[in-house]
A and B are shown apart, each in its own frame.
Chain A
Amino acid sequence: MNLTPTHSRIVFVYPPATLSPRPHISGQFNLCLGSAYIIAYLREKGITASPFLFNRPIDAAECTRQILAHKPKLVGFTVYSSNYCACQLLARYLKEADPDIIILFGGPTPTVQARTVLENNAGVDICVRNEGEETCLEIIASLERAGYRLPVANLENIPGITYRRGPDIRENSDRLIPIDLKKAPGYLDRFPSPYLSGLAGSPRLGILTARGCHRSCVYCNCALLSRRFITTHSIDRVMAELLYIQERFGPPYPITDIFDDAFTLIPQRAIDICRAIIKEKIRLPLTCVTRCDFISEDILDLIKEAGFKAVGFSLESAVPRVLRTIGKVSSPDTDQDPTFEKEKEFIDKFKKYVVYAKKIGIDVVYASIMIGLPGETEAEAGQTIAMIDSLKDYLHFYAHNQFQVYPGTPIFANHEKYGLKLLAFQNRIHFKTLYPYDLSRIKLGDNANLIGDSQAQDQTNIKTLALAITRKNGHANTQEAPFFGQLILENDHIGPGLVRWLQRYFAINGHIIQVYSNLAAARKFHLENEQALSQYISPTYYHAAYYRTPLDPPAPYPQTLTPFRFHVLGPQCGFSILLTQTRAKLDNRDDGKDPWQTLCIDRNPDDTRALHQFLVEIESRGTSLTDLFAAPMFPNFHHLCRFQGQAPNCRVLETLFVDEKDHLRTCLTGEPIGRVGMPFEEIQGQLIDLRQATAKRRGCAACPQAGHCAQCLFTNPLPEAEYCSLQRQSPVHRAADSLRTLDIFKDILPSL
C-alpha cells in the first residue's frame, strides 16, 4: 500500500520513565526502536511522520504545546507500564487542547491490555496490538479517506487494533501473517531501517537482527507476542546497518547493542552474521544477550572475533526444578524428563560457557537471574546466588532481579498456584507481586549490579538533598521555568491533591524523594503512596523512599536517612545518608564516616560560619577542578548554595520541599514560600517580590559583590547582616562553585 504524499502529520512520542540511577538521561524524550521502525516505514509510504524529541526535562503542559506545534493529526505513544501515567497525562492534555487529534497507544502495555487502556482513558482512541508498522499504515490510510474524522473512519477491517466507537470498545482480530511469508529469510527487510533511512541520529538506539522468541518461559511475553516465531532481517541488511553506524558515528566506535531477544536463538544465523561482520571488517564494540542452550564454544569464538564487547547469559535460576516450573528449558507441562536432566544440562552449560567466554577475552560477560520465582524457596534462591558467586571471577556483573508477574504472561493466570499474590492497582495496569517469603533476606552476590546501581542512586539523591543544581530545567535564569524537577517530600502520605498539583507543575519523570518519619510509617504508607501516584496519574514514577532513623549513640545531628529499598531489595543495596551538623563534621573531618554519604546541615550560626571558613580555606589552596579532584573527597553541604556565585535553589526553583502541612520550601531552613496546590507562577511571583524587597533591604545594588553573590533569600540560621558581611569581606563563590561542580560527578564516577 502506498499513499500519495500528504500534509497530514503523525507524531510519535516515547515519554521517559527510566528507573536508571543515572539521572541525566531521565528527562529526555528520545526515539525508541519500535516507533523508529514505524516512522521509517510510514515515511517510505509517503506519510509525514516524525518522532517527538526533546533533550531536557519538560513538564506535561509545555510538552503538550511542543507536540501541538507539529500540528499533528495523529499522535502515537509507545507505552510501557513504567511510562503509562505520563502517556495518560499527555494524551489527556492533547485531547483537551484539540479534541480532533487522534490518540493512538502502542507497545507492550496496549498489546496485552488494550481494553483496560481504553476503559481507563477517554482520550485514547485506538490501541495497536503487537507489531505496528502495517497496522499504523492501514489506520492512517483509513483516516485519510475519512478526512481524519474518526467517527466515520472505517477501522472494522484493520487487524491488530482495539478501538473506541461511540460508547463501545471494539476489538478486531489479531494481525496474522502467513507462516510461509514470515519464515522467509529477510522477511523483516520489508521495513526500512531507522538508520539507513536517516531517521536514527544516535547509535544508542541499538539494532534488531531478528524479532521474536520461540521459547516457553512463563514469565515473559516475548514468545507470546511473537507467537513463538522468529522473523529475521537478511544478513546484508544487518551488515548495511552496522556499516552505517560505524561510518556515521565513529571513530571512536560506539557501543552498539543488538536487542534481539536472544541473539543466538537460530545458531546458524548468528554464525553467519558473525562471519559477515568479520569479513566486512566491522569494528563496532557489540553487545548481545544469549542463552547457554543455543550457543557453543565455536559460536563464542566467532562472537569474540566479530568484536562483541559484552555477552549476557540469562540463567534465571540454578535450581533444575525451578527452571522447569518457569519453562526456561522445557515446557512446565511436559510429562517427559521427570528428573530434570535437560535443566541440569542447561545449568552445566551456563557454567561452562561463562567461563569460556571470559577465557577467550570477551570484556564483559554477565548473567541475569531472578529471585522470588514461582515455587522457589528461600534456600533455593540462595542456591542460585551461591552458584553465581562461584563464577564471580568470570562474571563482570550479574543482573539481580526480583521476579514480577506481568499481565499477558502465562504465569499471570496461575501465579496463585505457587503462593504468589498480585496486588492490582486501581488502574488495573500496575500490579505489585507479593512473594511467599521476604526477598530482602536474600544476600546479594558480590557482583550484583544492584549494589553499584543503588549506590549511584543514593549519590544522586544525596546530591538532590544538597541542592546541587544542575540547571536541568534548561533555564539559566531561574524564574522562567514554569515547573520544577525535584521534590523532597517530608511527610508520610501522598494524596490526590499533591499528585494533581504535580501534574501541572512537575517535570515528566522528575525525581520524588520521600522521607518518611520512621520505618513504621514507611511500611504503612509506601505501597499506598505508590498506588496514589499510579491512580491519580503522576507525571513521574521516580519515587525514592527513605525513613528517618535516630543514631545510637546520638550524634550532633542524630539522624540518618535509611533507604526503604533495604527492606525491599536487601541491606546491600545503597547506603544510609548521615545527616550531621556542618561544624561538627568540619571540626572532625576524618571521623571515619564516608564524606560522600554525609549531608552537612547548618543548624546554628556557627555551622554557617564554619562552612564559610572552610570555603575560605579552599579559596586559599586553589579552586581549579584539577586541584579539587586531587583533594580528599568532600562531604555534601546542604547550605552551600548560599555562598555560590551561581543562582541558588531559591531562585532557580529546581527542587522544592513539602512538609507535613503541605508548606513549600526551597531549603530545609527556608521560610514557607507557598502551599501545595498553588499555581507555580504565583510562587514565582512571590519570590520575585521577596527578592526585590530583600535586595532593597540589604542594599545589594550598591554592593561590590552583587555580581557574584547568591543573594540567599533565607539566611537562617545566620543573621542576615552577618551573611552580607561575610559575603562582602571574604567572598568564596569560586570555592563554592567548584565544590558544586564536583558534586555533579559524584554519582557518575563510582558507576563507570
Chain B
Amino acid sequence: MDFGKKTLQDILRKKIGEKDAKQILDAVNDAYKEGIQGDDLVNLFRKKLIEQGHDASDSSYGCVIALA
C-alpha cells in the first residue's frame, strides 16, 4: 500500500520527538478504540500535546492572517 514514503508518524516525530510522539499516538489510539471520534479525538490530541509542553495553540502570535 505504498503511496510514497512520508507517514503521519514521521511528521509528528519530526515535530515533537519520537518518545512524545509514541505516547500521544498510543493515547489517541486507546481513545479511538473506546469510541472517541472526530473533533473530540482532535481535542484529545491537542490536550496531550499541551500536557507534554508542545505548542498546540491556534495562535499565530497575535498576527492577523487573511487568506483568500
The answer, yes or no, to whether A750 is at the interface (CB within 8 Å) is yes
| Nearest chain A CB to B15 CB, angstrom units | 5
The answer, yes or no, to whether A487 is at the interface (CB within 8 Å) is no
Select from chain A the residue with minimum beta-carbon distance to B58.
A22
Query: In the bound complex, how far is the Cα of B34 from the Cα of A205, in angstroms?
Result: 32
Interface residues of B (CB under 8 A from A): 1-9, 11-12, 15-16, 25-26, 28-29, 32-33, 37-39, 41-43, 45-46, 49-68
Query: In the bound complex, how far is the Cα of B43 from the Cα of A617, in angstroms?
Result: 30
| Nearest chain B CB to A374 CB, angstrom units | 18
| Nearest chain B CB to A97 CB, angstrom units | 30
Contact indicator per residue, chain A 519-549, by CB within 8 Å of chain B (1) or not (0): 0000000000000000000000000110000
Residues of B within 8 A of A618 (CB): 1
The answer, yes or no, to whether A571 is at the interface (CB within 8 Å) is no
Query: In the bound complex, how far is the Cα of B3 from the Cα of A131, in angstroms?
Result: 56
Select from chain B the residue with minimum beta-carbon distance to A363.
B55
Residues of B within 8 A of A25 (CB): 58
Select from chain A the residue with minimum beta-carbon distance to B22.
A626
Top 5 nearest A-B pairs (CB, nearest first) are A399-B63, A568-B68, A471-B38, A565-B68, A625-B29
Give which listed residue, A470, A573, A745, contacts B45 with CB less than 8 A.
Answer: A745
Q: Are B39 and A646 in contact (CB under 8 A)?
A: no
Give which listed residue, B42, B51, B68, contacts A748 with CB less than 8 A.
Answer: B42
Residues of A within 8 A of B32 (CB): 625, 738, 741
The answer, yes or no, to whether A635 is at the interface (CB within 8 Å) is yes
A-B pairs with beta carbons under 8 Å apart, 18 shown: A20-B60, A255-B59, A287-B61, A399-B60, A453-B60, A470-B38, A545-B68, A589-B4, A590-B2, A625-B28, A625-B32, A626-B25, A629-B7, A629-B12, A633-B3, A749-B8, A752-B12, A752-B15
Query: In the bound complex, how far is the Cα of B9 from the Cα of A624, in angstroms?
Result: 13
| Nearest chain B CB to A437 CB, angstrom units | 17
Query: In the bound complex, how far is the Cα of B61 from the Cα of A380, in angstroms?
Result: 26
Residues of B within 8 A of A24 (CB): 39, 42-43
Select from chain A the residue with minimum beta-carbon distance to B11.
A749
Number of interface residues of A (CB under 8 A): 72
Q: Are B11 and A564 in contact (CB under 8 A)?
A: no
Residues of A within 8 A of B62 (CB): 257, 259, 287, 289, 312
The answer, yes or no, to whether A275 is at the interface (CB within 8 Å) is no
Residues of B within 8 A of A329 (CB): none
Residues of A within 8 A of B61 (CB): 257, 287, 289, 310, 312, 364, 366
The answer, yes or no, to whether A34 is at the interface (CB within 8 Å) is no
Residues of A within 8 A of B66 (CB): 19, 401-402, 404
Interface residues of A (CB under 8 A from B): 19-22, 24-25, 204, 252, 254-255, 257, 259, 287, 289, 309-310, 312, 364, 366, 368, 399, 401-402, 404, 449-450, 453-454, 457, 469-472, 544-545, 563-565, 568-569, 573, 589-590, 594-595, 614, 617-618, 621, 624-626, 628-635, 646, 737-738, 741-742, 744-746, 748-750, 752
Select from chain A the residue with minimum beta-carbon distance to B64.
A401
| Nearest chain A CB to B3 CB, angstrom units | 4
Query: In the bound complex, how far is the Cα of B66 from the Cα of A569, in angstroms?
Result: 10
Q: Are B57 and A624 in contact (CB under 8 A)?
A: no
Give which listed residue, A259, A366, A569, contacts B67 with CB less than 8 A.
Answer: A569
| Nearest chain B CB to A532 CB, angstrom units | 16
Q: Are A752 and B5 in contact (CB under 8 A)?
A: no
Given contacts A287-B62, A629-B7, A634-B3, contact A471 B67 (CB under 8 A): no
Residue of B9, B29, B62, B68 with most chain A CB atoms under a 10 A cut-off: B68
Q: Are B57 and A204 in contact (CB under 8 A)?
A: yes
Residues of B within 8 A of A752 (CB): 12, 15-16, 49, 54-56
Query: In the bound complex, how far is the Cα of B4 from the Cα of A255, in angstroms?
Result: 36
Residues of B within 8 A of A742 (CB): 8
Given contacts A368-B63, A629-B25, contact A589 B9 (CB under 8 A): no
Query: In the bound complex, how far is the Cα of B66 from the Cα of A401, in angstroms?
Result: 8
Q: Are B65 and A399 in contact (CB under 8 A)?
A: yes
